[in-house]
A and B are shown apart, each in its own frame.
Chain A
Amino acid sequence: MCKPETMSEIVFKGRTGLHRVLICTGTGCVANGALDVYALFREQIRLQGIELVADFAELDNIARDSRALFISRSGCQGFCQMGPLVSVEPEGILYNKVQAADVKEIVEKTLLGGEVIERLLYVDPVTGQACRSQKDINFYKRQHRLVLAQCGDIDPESLAEYRAIGGYSAAEKAWVQMTPEQICQDILAAGLRGRGGGGFPTGRKWEMCRIQPGARKYIICNGDEGDPGAFMDRSVMEGNPHSVIEGMLIAARAIGADEGYVYVRAEYPLAVKRLRKACADALQAGILGDNVFNSGVRMRIQVMEGAGAFVCGEETALLASIEGERGMPRSKPPFPAQSGLWGRPTVINNVETLATVPLILRMGLERFRALGTNGSPGTKTFALTGHVANTGLIEVPFGVTLREIVMEIGGGITDKKGRIDPGGFKAVQIGGPSGGCLVKEHLDLKMDFDSLRSIGAMVGSGGLVCMNQSTCMVAVARYFMQFTQKESCGKCVLCREGTRQMLFLLDDIVEGRATPETLALLEELAGVVQKGSLCGLGKTAPNPVLSTLKYFPEEYLAHVRDKRCPAGECRQLARPEILAGQCKGCTLCGRKCPVKAITGEPRQVHVIDPGLCIRCGVCAQVCKFNAVTGFQG
């Protein structure tokens, strides 16, 4: 079978006159009002007397040449910043930032009149060209959407739509035609590596669990996605929950599990809701339950909500959490595959890993291996955020370069005001609090497990946070240290106390109390914390500090030696001053200063009292004459 069919191919097959309006209802678009847009579309369609189909199953009831409108809601289409996104098919027009007020016009002009509304098209910020459809937009053009393809295409709450595009056919094949050994071997041969951070070969993990004796085993989907700055797993769980369940079903067959859990982060209520509905629908359809695909074998899946602890993403802590305990990691071995949940053999896989599994079986090993690199086949989703023109959720084959991602898909780095700045690139933070930064010399590095590991970074969760020249790397390191310090579970002294001491040292640096010894001590402590921690959280906690120290030593030195923050971000080091030559005495700064540290008569030069000043920077922000200096480096 070649590429799985898309909804639009299915919907328009043999029909004339039909239109489909697809509204993205991912979290981003909903935050920008997509649900109102959806409701208004339905109302307008009714007012215009057009036949409305809102449910895929009803499509069969309308005449082949009916001028009906099929309206559907999809999961995240990835371009969250431009939401709400509305596409009109079969024309393939993509409208962005659609507001309630635009709906009537779209119905009248585009649906009835066949006209494109220029104003609602996406305009490429580099070329200034209006893009008519997804395939004209650079953000999408450079991507290869595999796992995410269905997310933005089908209604995540519809089992019928998922099945229409081939959903559950891979699970059925696995349960009906394949042996557990075969499944493990196929997944191993496909070269699938875990997307949860480590990149461990999934087939090998399954095989390890498969050969364990025992009638009861578990498959767990890790949907904890704790890395701040990452939201790929969220989009998959919300946008295509059935694909996660299908992956779990295949894994269950491979290892012999009869029960599964999806452990979802508490901040993702919509994912919880959609996964629960998907489980219920699958149960009703006989896909889950006591007789999976008429095999006589039982398989059930429960969705459990996490309770807000980053460390629970670590697999052994996650197990403790499901068991109702404090989520603290334990030492391995025994590995979960040998002794996991309630002491039984358990496989824990990441959301994206599991969602990839059915696609591999459907497209075949060779076609999967043809994507990506030899050591890292397939595609990877990344959350592209920070100071970059196009933020959002992307998917690319392993092995593309950082430059392609940031400059082409991302459209380039932006400055403080959000304008594209060709020379603005400073660094990209990859892998969140466990990761490190990639700098200019890495722009042509291939993004795959092994290349990243070779320079001491890692794919991690897939969060890519772009940073421009106005970002202080010391402050970034401090930010991550504060995060890991707060999230340490407290079991290991060196993780618990060591991260706290490292944070104090970083505080000293950004607040101007550091001495040259501070840096030496920081580095020494980093090594100790790495060695003396049990789990990945502690072991990797020093990474952001070490990598910023390596690539930006002069920035640390400026803070320590000159008590100066070159990026102008560390407020405590700012020496705000009003330039007599520029100040017009407009009094605005004096009125806005929250601590009344600025004095001066109208039309006279104002002065800041450094003793009172709390360095909040409000004066510099409000001054219309650029008279306040000292906040920039």
Chain B
Amino acid sequence: MPTVMFRKFEKVCAILKKYNNDPGRLITILQEVQEEYRYLPEEVMAFVATSLGLSPAKVFGVASFYAHFALVPKGKYVIRLCDGTACHVKGSDGILQALYRKLGLDEKVPTTPDMLFTVETVACLGACGLAPVMVINEQVYGQMSPEKAVELVEDIRVREGSGNV
């Protein structure tokens, strides 16, 4: 294996080793791999499959079943808007539309071309008392409104030095 490739898989190897190449730990392994790469690149999934003695199709099958595995890269800031029942009845859809409009995104194109933002919806973040709720990476924001959401996005833009949209 060429060194570049080898370096690329070094972290994956460490993760595989931590779980003794146990195919029963596939989901945990994929979760840790995703933490490294922020998504699951195809060649990495194939590598994991071979190391665990599974077919790549099987690993891909598991990865595509669960919503949390990303098969394409996501932006630096992942904005997850809750569309659980409580947030929905308190108007989360308006916030989603405002974010889509602000960032020029939609359901099919959830990531900005500069890879700064990804906008997703999730079913309940478990903070319904604060509905509507939005999470940017790990930070939870409660009692959101379309204006506040757009403001947060603008703040990040400024902080990241990419000026206005």
What residues of chain A have their CB less than 8 Å away from a CB belonging to chain B?
27-28, 30-32, 79-81, 225-231, 234, 265-269, 304-310, 321, 323-327, 342, 383, 385-387, 391-393, 429, 432, 463, 465, 467, 471, 476, 479-480, 483, 487, 489, 594, 616
Contact = CB atoms under 8 A, between A and B. Distances in A.
The size class of the interface chain B forms with chain A is 35 or more
B105 interface: no
Contacts of B30: 307
19 contacts: A27-B140, A31-B141, A227-B124, A228-B85, A229-B86, A231-B124, A231-B127, A269-B138, A307-B27, A307-B67, A324-B23, A324-B25, A326-B65, A385-B128, A386-B90, A463-B85, A465-B85, A465-B86, A479-B85
Contacts of B89: 386-387, 465, 467, 471, 476
A265 to B, nearest CB: 8
Contacts of B11: none
Given A31-B140, A324-B62, A391-B131, A234 B85 contact: no
| Residue of A269, A385, A467, A483 contacting most chain B CB atoms (<10 Å) | A385
A229 B131 CA distance: 9
A487 B122 CA distance: 12
A430 B94 CA distance: 24
Contacts of A476: 89
B67 A321 contact: no
A53 to B, nearest CB: 29
A229 B141 CA distance: 16
Interface string B106-148: 0000000000000000111111111101000010111000000
Given A28-B130, A32-B130, A327-B66, 18 more contacts: A80-B127, A80-B142, A225-B126, A228-B123, A229-B86, A267-B122, A308-B66, A308-B69, A325-B62, A385-B86, A385-B131, A387-B89, A463-B128, A465-B86, A471-B89, A476-B89, A480-B85, A487-B123
A81 B130 CA distance: 6
Contacts of A81: 129-130
Contacts, number: 133
A386 B86 contact: yes
| Residue of B28, B30, B126 contacting most chain A CB atoms (<10 Å) | B126
A343 B7 CA distance: 39
Contacts of A471: 89
Interface of B: 23-28, 30-31, 61-62, 65-69, 82-86, 88-90, 97, 101, 122-131, 133, 138, 140-142
A432 B97 CA distance: 24
Contacts of A342: 24
A310 B130 contact: no
Nearest to B128: A385
A385 B88 contact: no
Contacts of A234: 126
A391 B125 CA distance: 15
A562 B69 CA distance: 44
Contacts of A324: 23-27, 62
Contacts of A265: 126
Nearest to A312: B66
B127 A432 contact: no
A392 B123 contact: no
A489 B141 CA distance: 31
A393 B127 CA distance: 10
A228 B61 CA distance: 25
Given A229-B124, A305-B28, A31 B130 contact: yes
Nearest to A304: B28
A28 B142 contact: yes
B128 A230 contact: yes
B55 to A, nearest CB: 13
A31 B142 contact: yes
A627 B84 CA distance: 33
A479 to B, nearest CB: 6
B125 A267 contact: yes
Nearest to A468: B89
A225 B65 CA distance: 18
Contacts of B31: 305, 307
A228 B24 contact: no
A392 B129 contact: yes
Contacts of A489: 65
A326 B57 CA distance: 12
A391 B123 contact: no
A81 B61 CA distance: 41
B23 A226 contact: no
Contacts of A327: 65-66
A31 B127 contact: yes
B65 A594 contact: no
B75 to A, nearest CB: 18
A503 B138 CA distance: 33
Contact of A229 (B62, B69, B84): B84
A301 B9 CA distance: 30
